[in-house]
Amino acid sequence: MRWVPGGESRNVEDRRGRGYRMAPVGIGGAIILLVLSLLFGRDFVSAPPVTNPAETAAGEIVPGAIEQTPEEAKEVQFVSWVLDTAQATWSRLLPEKMGTPWQNATLVLFRNATPTGCGVGQTATGPFYCPLDQKLYIDLSFYNELRDRFGAPGDFAQAYVLAHELGHHVQHLLGTDAKVRRAQQAYPGNANQLSVMLELQADCYAGVWGHYAQAGGALEPGDVQEGLAAAAAVGDDRIQRETTGHINTDSFTHGTSEQRERWFNRGFTTGDPRQCNTFAAVSER
């Protein structure tokens, strides 16, 4: 990608110098966390929810200096650039195309674990978006895993990851995620299918940003292929095949590699978030 390092975004919260120690949870608390895990489909048992990260009883924040390699420092500037350009794009598109005002999200950089509005975020979880605090979370070491484990190298592959998570912020501002949660609670048998639709829509929104990044001259030859490869690399079928040796379609939550590529490409080709209605395009999923 063509980009110019410009420092750290004001919408980046850098917690890499802060550790987090989790406190033990009692039997009564464990039962509550188990119920939350079943309701929200997230592991709250090992990641207890918190309301005030600065004063939580679930653990302790341990301050420290940020130590980073020159390569990681460059990654911080890169994700800052992606975040700022993507949010600038959506600040125009969301009011114009969807009639909804834009609010910037915050990107949190952390190492190992950090408290969030949705529970304790951990490196093993991978990048994620928390709608309760409207923040994206990433441990930059994930990019090594994206390259080495998933076979998706390249800066546009890295940008796709952030653009996908920001797509969840778009859904939150539109109220889509809340509607999906209500539908999942009302129809638990469709919970996984609804999750797939939500994730594929975030892929499509990532493609929408890619469309405008290309129009602005930020993409280089091969970048689109990097994005498609990244989308395919994290397909449910591919991950299940590599980790378990077999595929269970009933347990899919993000979509197949082919679906993720196709919806990313739809957003990239059209540049129109209105073309990302995965919930209406049932036959195309």
Please state, in angstroms and rounded to a whole number, the distance separating the CA atoms of residues 118 and 256: 26
Please state, in angstroms and rounded to a whole number, the distance separating the CA atoms of residues 268 and 280: 19
- List, for residues 201-240, the tens digit of each pLDDT value: 999 999 999 999 999 999 999 988 888 888 877 787 776 7
Under the banding of pLDDT at 50, 70 and 90, the label for residue 22 is low
- List, for residues 109-127, the tens digit of each pLDDT value: 999 999 999 999 999 889 9
- In this prediction, residue 206 carries a pLDDT of 96
